[in-house]
Structure 1
Amino acid sequence: MEKYLPILRVSPFFKGLSDSEILSVLHCVNAATISKKRNSYILRAGDSTEVMGLVVSGSVLVIQEDLWGHRNILSKCCAGDFFAELYAASPGSILNISVIADEDCEILYLNVQRLMVSCPAACEHHQKLIRNLVRVLANKLLVFNDKITHVGKRTTRDKLLSYLSAESVRQSSLSFDIPFNRQQLADYLCIDRAAMSAELSKLQKEGLIKTNRNHFELTVCNQ
């Protein structure tokens, strides 16, 4: 597990813990690693889970799908990001999401139910982990709130501008990369890809944005 320490040290879940404490915690929560190939399922809707996943290499997509194959991307998780925290913290909950590998990846599974019982050693880092887990769960709710804000806009244009504006603020720059390709961005914003491409072209002609693949530059002006 030592090879994952560079990722774990900067993870909000392990904030405030030393390397030795992190390794101790990994044993406490029955940490286990798996490898997945691109496009393979990690978790499927309809299942339940007692573990949350931490991406230690590659990236995954958290999605919802219907019977006809329509996909709604909820989030993309890269190295250092968690998924399925809410379900792992609520025993018996049925997943209404699926998680698939967006590229070859390694996942560290953590059984958070082990944190819900008193630690026999009454270790201080056990209490730190519980506080950190609450912060992780709160952050995930904020991420989903952002998505609701974007998809709640009435038009394709408004959804795009809402998302790009939020990304600009989050990254503190008018020039930034987004984690999605074009199809993934359309799936995330719940819009048609062709309509989205047409709107991006209009926004470029109007001088509001410049874009190349997943890179965007925004221009602030009076509309």
Structure 2
Amino acid sequence: MKKYLPILKNSPFFKGLSDREILSILQCVNATTISRKRDSYIFRAGDSTEVMGLVVSGGVLIIQEDLWGHRNILSKCHAGDFFGEPYAASPGAVLNISVVADEDCEIILLHVQRLLTSCPTACEHHQKLIRNLVSVLANKILILNDKITHVGKRSTRDKLLSYLSAESIRQSSLSFDIPFDRQQLADYLCIDRAAMSTEISKLQKEGVIKTNRKHFELTACNMKNL
């Protein structure tokens, strides 16, 4: 586990903890490491889980799928990000999401219930870790709130502009990269890819945006007139 310390120290879950404390926590929560190939499932909807996952390399998608294969992307997790913590913290809760590897990845699995009960080793950093967990869960709520804001817009154009504007503000720049490819962006915004591509082309012709694959550049003066 020592080789993952540089990533773990940058994760909000381990904020304010020393290397020694992090390693002690990993032992306390029975941490194990798994590797998954791209498009492999880590969690499947309909199952339950006693563990939450921490991405230490690669990336995963948090998705919802229906019986007809329609995919709704809720979020994407990169190295240092967690997933599955609300379900792991609720014994017997059935997953209504799936977690899929977006690329080859490594995951650390943590038994979150060990954090919510008295620590068997009476580690002094136990309470600090619980506070960090609450912070992580609160941030997930904010991420989902952003998605609701975007998909709640009436048109494909408005959904796109809402998302791009939010990303620009979050990254404090009019020029930024997004974590999704075109199909993933359409799935995240719950819109048809072809319709989205048409709107992107229109926005480029109008001078509102410039884009190349995952990179976008917004023209603020044109956005004010939308």
Give the structure-2-normalised TM-score: 0.97
> Which residue is equivalent to 1:107?
107
Q: Distance in 1 between matches of 2:71 and 2:121?
A: 46
> Which residue is equivalent to 1:29?
29
> Which residue is equivalent to 1:131?
131
Q: Distance in 1 between matches of 2:78 and 2:60?
A: 7
Matched, 1:45 2:32: no
User: What is the percentage of aligned positions where both structures have the same residue?
Assistant: 83
Q: Deviations over 1:34-58 (max 9, x none)?
A: 0000001110000001111000000
Q: Which amino acid letter does the alignment assign opposite residue 178 of structure 1?
A: I
Matched, 1:173 2:157: no
Report the alpha carbon displacement of residue 118 of structure 1 after superposing the two structures with TM: 1.3
Q: Distance in 2 between matches of 1:123 and 1:68?
A: 48
Q: Distance in 2 between matches of 1:120 and 1:179?
A: 40
> Which residue is equivalent to 2:199?
199
Q: Deviations over 1:112-157 (max 9, x none)?
A: 1001111244332101000000000000011001000000000000
> Which residue is equivalent to 2:14?
14
Unpaired runs of at least 5, structure 1: none
Q: Distance in 1 between matches of 2:88 and 2:196?
A: 35
Q: Which amino acid letter does the alignment assign opposite residue 71 of structure 1?
A: R
Matched, 1:153 2:149: no
**8 Å Cα contact 2:28-2:121 kept in structure 1:** no
Give the structure-1-normalised TM-score: 0.99
Q: Distance in 1 between matches of 2:178 and 2:211?
A: 11
Q: What is the count of residue pairs matched by the alignment?
A: 223
Q: Deviations over 1:7-50 (max 9, x none)?
A: 00111111111000000000000000000000011100000011
Q: Distance in 2 between matches of 1:153 and 1:214?
A: 22
Matched, 1:94 2:102: no
Unpaired runs of at least 5, structure 2: none
Structure 1: 4+ residue segments shifted above 4 A: none
Secondary structure of the 1:56 match is strand
Q: Which amino acid letter does the alignment assign opposite residue 47 of structure 1?
A: D
Secondary structure of the 1:124 match is coil
Q: Distance in 2 between matches of 1:199 and 1:7?
A: 38
Report the alpha carbon displacement of residue 214 of structure 1 after superposing the two structures with TM: 0.4
Matched, 1:116 2:116: yes
